[in-house]
Amino acid sequence: MIGLSHYLIVSAILFSIGLAGVLRRRNLLMLFFATEVMLNAVNIAFAAISHYYNDLTGQMFAFFIIAIAASEVAVGLGILIVLYKKHGSLDLDDLANMRG
Partner 1 sequence: MFEPIKVSMESLNLITLAPMLLAIAGGLVILVLDLINSKLHKSLYVMLTILILIVDFGATVGLNVNERGFFDVMLIDGISIISQLLIIVASILFTPLALTSKRFHEYSYPEFFALFLFMVAGFQFMVASDNLILIFVGLETSSLSLYTLIALHNRANSYEAAVKYFTMGALSAGFFAMGSAVVYALTGSIELYQVAQVLAARLGEHGLMLAILGSSVLLMAAFAFKLSLFPFHTWAPDVYEGASAPLAGYMSIVPKIAAFVVTIRIFGMYLDLGIEWVRDIIIILSVLTMTLANVMALVQEDVKRMLAYSSISHAGFIMAAIAFDTTEGTASIFLYYALFMFTNLGAFTMLWISRHKVRRFNARFDHPYEKFSGLIKIMPMGAVIMALFMLSLAGVPPFSVFWGKIYVMQAAVNAGYVWLAIVMGLNSAIAAYYYLKLVVYMFLKDPVKDVDTVYYNLSKPLMAVIGLATVATVGAIFYVQPLLSYLYYMISASGY
Partner 2 sequence: MENLVYIALFAPFASSLFAALFGMSPKKQFVGIVASVLLGISLVASLMLAAYVYQTGNTIHVTMMDWISAGDLHIPFGFVVDQVSVTMMTVVTLVSTVVHIYSNGYMDHDKSFNRFFSYLSAFVFSMMVLVMSDNFAGLFIGWEGVGVCSWLLIGFWYHKPDVSREENPAISPSWAANEAFIMNRIADLGMLVGLFIIYWNVGSLQYDAVFASLPQMSGAILNAAALFLFIGAMGKSAQFPLHTWLTDAMEGPTPVSALIHAATMVTAGVFLVIRANPIFALTPEVSYFIAALGTFVAFFAASMALVNRDLKRIIAFSTLSQLGYMFAAAGLGAYWIALFHLAAHAFFKALLFLGAGNVMHAMDDELDIFKMGGLKKAMKWTYLYMGVASLALAGIPFFAGYFSKDAIIETAWNEGTLILWIILVVTAGMTAFYSFRQVFLTFEGDERYKTYGFHPHEMYKYVLIAMSPLAILAVIAGFFKEPFEHFVTQLLPEYEMSEHTEHLSWILGLIVLAFAVSGIALAYKKYYRGLKRDEKLESSWYYKMLANQYYIPNFYEEFISKPYAMISEAMWNKVDMKIVDATVDGIAKFLYKTGDGSRKMQTGNLSNYLNWMAVGAVMLLVVAALSAAVIG
Q: Which residues bind partner 2 (CB under 8 A)?
A: 19, 22-26, 92-93, 95-100
CA distances from 6 to 9, 31, 42, 86 (A): 5, 27, 14, 45
Nearer to partner 1 by C-beta: 6 or 60?
Answer: 60
Backbone angles phi, psi at 91, to 5 degrees: -80, 135
Number of residues near partner 1 (by CB under 8 A): 43
- Binding pattern for the stretch 3-42 against partner 1, x by CB under 8 A and - elsewhere: -----x--x---x--xx--x-----x--xx--x--xx-xx
Burial (CB count within 10 angstroms: exposed 0-12, middle 13-18, buried 19+), residue 43: buried
Q: Closer CB to partner 2, residue 4 or residue 20?
A: 20
